[in-house]
Each structure stands twice: as C-alpha cells, then as structure tokens.
Structure 1
Amino acid sequence: MSFSLDTPSAQTLKSEARQLREERARSGQTLSHGAALEEVARSHGYRDWNTARAALPDRVAVPFQVGMRVRGFYLEQPFSGLLLGVQLLSSMQHYAVTIQFDQPVNVTPNFMFAAFRQRVSATLDIHGVSPALRGNGQPQMRLLRE
C-alpha cells in the first residue's frame, strides 16, 4: 500500500492484486488474477474491477513527493530532511530519491574517523524501504513520513 493521499491508479490496484495472489499462494490458496482484481477493487469501494478500471486514472500514485519532509534511517543512523528528487524507475515498483539531511549523517561503521554525508541518493520501494541491504541484513535506508 502506498503513502499517497491521491486517488490510486489502475497500476497501483493491479500491483495490490499481484501481491494478494502471492500472499494467498504462500498460504496454499490459489486465487486467479481476475478474482484478485475483483477483491482489490471491492476493498477500495468499487463494485467490481470494471467499475474501478473505468474510474481510475492510468497514472501511478506516487508515495513520495518532491519537497516532502521525511525522516528515517540511513545506514542505521537516524535522519530528518527534505526530499529533493523522486524518479519512478522502470520496474514501476521502485523510486530513486535524493534527500538533503537537516544534519549531516556519519556513514562510517566505526567512529575512529567520521565521513559525513548531507545529501544522498537511494532506491526505495513504495513502502520507503531500500531493497539494498547492509552486511547485517538491514536495509540501507528506511524512509518514514514526517
């Protein structure tokens, strides 16, 4: 589910239907693509998928907006800052973001010396979590709304 307050797009609902099918498959239940679309459409208040599709725009609802205040963790260091850039990647499931931190963040794993960054770019999914992981299994960035 995205953070956008905008009307979701048809693409967003299709992605939700795909996720629903995957969740059901993991629990041993089969669900056709059409049935998943119908269920997702009803969960958004539409009578059926055809009604939803006719009412929804083709654009993708963007979970992050340029100028948005954000906070989160970068390399497990807390930060707050301003979202300077957002670009939807070709997968339509990830975004390239550029963030200007309010205070520089030390990006070194030990504190024998410091390497501070005040502006970083990262790839995030629609939930604000980086698919790239650190050596300890934690995401490089977790973004929250401020």
Structure 2
Amino acid sequence: MTYSIDTPSRTTLKAEARALRDQRSRAGTPIGQGAALEEIAHRHGYRDWNTAHAALPDRVPTPVQVGQRVKGTYLGQRFTGLVMGVQLLADMQHYTVTVHFDTPVDVVTSSLFSAFRQRVTATVDVHGVSPARTSNGQPHMRVMRA
C-alpha cells in the first residue's frame, strides 16, 4: 500500500485522541480513550478506529534514515554522502536532514573564491526535496537513497 505525504500515522491519530481527551477533561466533559479514538477516526473519514488502525501506517514515511548512503544535489552541486541525522518537523510533512558529504562541495558559483561544505543540514519533504529554492528556482537540496 502507498501513502501520500498527507497520510497521518496511527501514532499521530493516537496523539490527537490524547489531546482531545485533555481538551474535553478541561472543559468538564471527560471521555475515555476508546471514545476519543473513535471520534478522531471519524474526523479523518474512517468508519471507526479499527478501520483507521488497519488502513494507516504505523509511522510517517521518511525520505532517508540515519546511517544510510545517499546521493543528490546541494545548491546545484552533486554529492554522495552519509546521513548523520533525520528529524521530523512539527508540521509532520518535512524533515531536517544532516548529511556528511564524501567530498566537500563548493557552495559558491563565483570563480573568484570558494566556500566548501562537507556537512550540511537542510529541510526536505518526504520525497527528499527542499522547499527552499535558490535564486534560479532550484531546490537547495535533493536527497535520495544511493
């Protein structure tokens, strides 16, 4: 089964159910965890919690994993390297990825000077493409499994 970037995980729905329980408790109308899970499943368009649980992934898909060999482009320069860190951001749709390049990359396009980087951290989506763009419209980073 394939999932889109907008597909929540079971973990996300469970967190939403806990937040709903806390909200209702503060409002003076407490509900149980089962009722909260059912309500959250309905909000996401599922018939019930069991249907949502069966249909959803256990975790959100990640573009790369720590320790994985990767390749791609950074500021228009090709690279190969090793993923040193991956962190899911609060929007649940983007990650910060830290890559240690095998060979330092010159991030300056000028012929007058150079600025080499060997370890960089960039924000990417689940497809490994950075939403930030250079002045020519290219993503800052594209990263994929090697």
TM-score range, shorter chain: 0.5 to 0.7
For 1:118, the equivalent position in structure 2 comes to 118
For 1:142, the equivalent position in structure 2 comes to 142
For 1:64, the equivalent position in structure 2 comes to 64
One-letter amino acid of the counterpart of residue 96, structure 1: T
For 1:75, the equivalent position in structure 2 comes to 75
Instruction: Give the superposition deviation at 1:145.
Output: 1.1
Distance in 1 of aligned mates of 2:11 and 2:136: 34
Structure 2 contact 64–144 (Cα < 8 Å) conserved: no
Q: CA 1:110/1:11 → structure 2, altered by over 3 Å: closer, same or farther? A: farther
Bigger-Rg structure (1/2): 2
Distance in 2 of aligned mates of 1:100 and 1:141: 13
TM-score in terms of structure 1 length: 0.64
Look up the SS of the partner of 1:70 in the other structure. Answer: strand
Look up the SS of the partner of 2:67 in the other structure. Answer: coil
Instruction: Give the superposition deviation at 1:50.
Output: 5.2
For 1:128, the equivalent position in structure 2 comes to 128
Instruction: Give the superposition deviation at 1:92.
Output: 0.4
One-letter amino acid of the counterpart of residue 71, structure 2: R
Look up the SS of the partner of 2:105 in the other structure. Answer: strand
1:109 is the counterpart of 2:104: no
Distance in 2 of aligned mates of 1:69 and 1:57: 24
1:90 is the counterpart of 2:98: no
Distance in 2 of aligned mates of 1:139 and 1:11: 30
Structure 2 contact 98–121 (Cα < 8 Å) conserved: yes
| Runs of 5+ unmatched residues, structure 1 | 3-7, 13-32, 39-48
| Runs of 5+ unmatched residues, structure 2 | 13-43
Look up the SS of the partner of 1:136 in the other structure. Answer: coil
Distance in 2 of aligned mates of 1:115 and 1:83: 21
Look up the SS of the partner of 1:53 in the other structure. Answer: helix
Instruction: Give the superposition deviation at 1:110.
Output: 1.4
Structure 2 contact 132–140 (Cα < 8 Å) conserved: yes
Distance in 2 of aligned mates of 1:130 and 1:55: 29
Instruction: Give the superposition deviation at 1:111.
Output: 2.2
Q: Alignment identity in percent?
A: 62
